[in-house]
Amino acid sequence: MNAAARLVEVRVPDMGNFKDVAVIDVLVKPGESIEPEAPLVTLETEKATMDVPSTASGVIEKIHVDKGGKVNAGDLIATVRSAGDVAAPAQAAALAAPSEAAKAAAAASAAVPAGTTGKPTSTVVSTPAQPGSTAGSAPAQGGASAVAELPATLRTDLPPINEPGFSRAHAGPSVRKLARELGVDLTRVAGHGFKGRITHDDVKAFVKELMTSPGAAAGAGAVARSGGGALPGVPAVDFAAFGPVETQPLSRIQRISGPRLHASWVNIPHVTQFDEADITELEALRGKLKESAAQRGIKLTPLAFIVRACVKALQAFPQFNASLDPTGANLILKKYLNVGFAADTPNGLMVPVVSEADRKDIYEVARQLGELSEAARGGKLSAAQMQGGCFTISSLGGIGGTAFTPIINAPEVAILGVSRSTMKPVYQDGTFVPRLMLPLSLSYDHRVIDGAAAVRFTTFLAKTLAEPHTLIEAVP
């Protein structure tokens, strides 16, 4: 077999509908020894960051991408000379005459638990990092970096790390190394990389949160004690001291959505406007159309009418179909109308998006709602089906409730909450008549929308829902 036949090509995996994805970090360099699943590069989409793992063990022959570049599915990332072939010259030289610092690093790494697979790991001697190297690269020898390389059990300035949990954490070697250098317990870090993998950015974000939240930083180590944020922390409580407990990990969806919801809540000044819509006529019309919809294989739900009504309201009030730019000084008005909706799934809430909702009639909207809901429950939603939303609807009417305060799905500026409709006596033409009333809860970003605009929006929306015949055809 010739030398070329022993090279393994590692390419960008299928990333759904993402194109021209940014390479934000290159985690290895030519001559380095790697194991399968070792992260090679970190990619960043508008939704999340992810490490691309190696599919082979051996020595990095060549890196074909650069930090700051763009890649697509199938692009070549690296070529790896598979294990057992001729070792890289630099590695052979390092193994032949290891420096005293390298010996110390190897001895320190022997005290660190192996990776998530539980298999023994070989000792790799790293060369000193060059100027401009990334956090995942080998640090310079001596000084504070040498202290950082020591296991947490030998550091007096850091709190103890949960070693069994640390060894099971879903993270690559470079991320583990960074976590130990910063004194971060990986059991406390939520992973947002590929299949929930903890990335370098997750560790850095965790440290940043500790530094800005002194209450949460209590007992979290020297890196956290320098914080000065305004948010008070929640005290840690040993619940087992009061009785039996059971710890259940959050689902992947909860681990991803939790930080985003938190960020939305603390960064956006939420205000919620409550209103009611008379949907007596809407339900009567829906009852008449259900049979014809069923003949087309469509389940005609009230949500389809609500989506159509929101489309008309968004066209009448374009500031609700907008987003603030990153500087916060400009409003980006969108000329398209994609409406997201919260879908209840076994693993948590997901937000599929009905694209071009203004160009679909009531039947097509209902069809897409059904298809997206089924895909969400089956865990088969593509990334493209959850992107590009302009406005979100969270409908809990099928479960119950009278009102609630939905959290804005940033970077959108408003979200509509819908609760259970009830029959109420409504005063009309000098007498009380029974009418089916639907509670509406509109949360909005007060930086973009004021109270008067919010009331006008819900009033228009309620009036539109009360005239359901205008909702059947697509909005021109």
Measured over the CA atoms of residue 257, residue 258, residue 263 and residue 266, the dihedral's sign is positive
Q: Which residue has the tokens 């004690």?
A: 225
List of E strands, 279-354: 322-324, 331-333, 339-341, 343-345, 348-350, 353-354
Cβ atoms of 223 and 210 closer than 8 Å: yes
Establish whether 192 is a catalytic residue.
no
The structure tokens listed for 28 are 């290895």
DSSP state of 171: B
Strands 414-418 and 431-445, by their bridges, are: antiparallel
The Cα 233–Cα 218 span in angstroms is: 8
From 192, 270, 446, 469, active-site residue = 446
Residue 428 — φ and ψ, nearest 5°? Answer: -140, 130
Q: Which residue has the tokens 């409709």?
A: 421
Q: Is 344 exposed, middle or buried (0-12, 13-18, 19+ CB in 10 A)?
A: middle
The Cα 38–Cα 43 span in angstroms is: 14
The Cα 318–Cα 332 span in angstroms is: 10
CA distances from 245 to 239, 249, 250 (A): 7, 13, 16
CA distances from 293 to 166, 299, 361, 397 (A): 54, 6, 12, 21
Cβ atoms of 389 and 303 closer than 8 Å: no
The Cα 138–Cα 179 span in angstroms is: 13
Q: Which residues does the annotation mark as catalytic?
A: 446
